[in-house]
Amino acid sequence: MQATSYDAYGSLRITEQNGKIIEQKIQSVFKKETHSFSYAPETISVNGRKYILNFPLRCLFQKEEDHFIIQNELLDIYAAGKTVDEAEKDFNEEFDYLFQRLNSLDEDRLTPRLNVIKQFINRYIKEVI
């Protein structure tokens, strides 16, 4: 019999009792070729700022080889990291940089595409604290 291996994602149910894991059970498995996942933050915290968004910011989330990738095509943000936390941190930093940079420039210094992105990101953010 020939062994087969798959690149897949799954969900795991972990049961704890008194702070100790007593059971781990695979709930579902999704093949990488047929599924992609989303990352949808409602707040973005970075560099002492917290961006409160009007709606979750839907992004593509996937694993490519040994890196996690978060991508938002509309804002043209592409972030990566060796762990999920690193990818999220990179995404937050890219979002912050984009917001700060676009809002530091007058509209006449931006391309039409960047003006649309600037308008979108400014409308998407409810408040910055």
Alpha carbon of residue 1 to chain centroid: 40
Strand spans (E) along the chain: 8-17, 20-31, 37-39, 43-46, 49-53, 59-64, 67-72, 77-81, 125-128
pTM for this structure? 0.75
* Interval 21-39 mean pLDDT: 72
In this structure, how many other beta carbons lie within 10 angstroms of the beta carbon of residue 49?
A: 13
**Is residue 59 classed exposed, middle or buried when 0-12, 13-18 and 19+ CB atoms within 10 A define those classes?**
buried
* Interval 81-107 mean pLDDT: 96
pLDDT band (50, 70, 90) for residue 25: confident
pLDDT band (50, 70, 90) for residue 17: confident
Query: Does the pLDDT of residue 20 top 90, yes or no?
Result: no
pLDDT tens digits along 49-62: 999 999 999 999 98
Domain borders along the chain are: 34-128
* Interval 58-71 mean pLDDT: 90
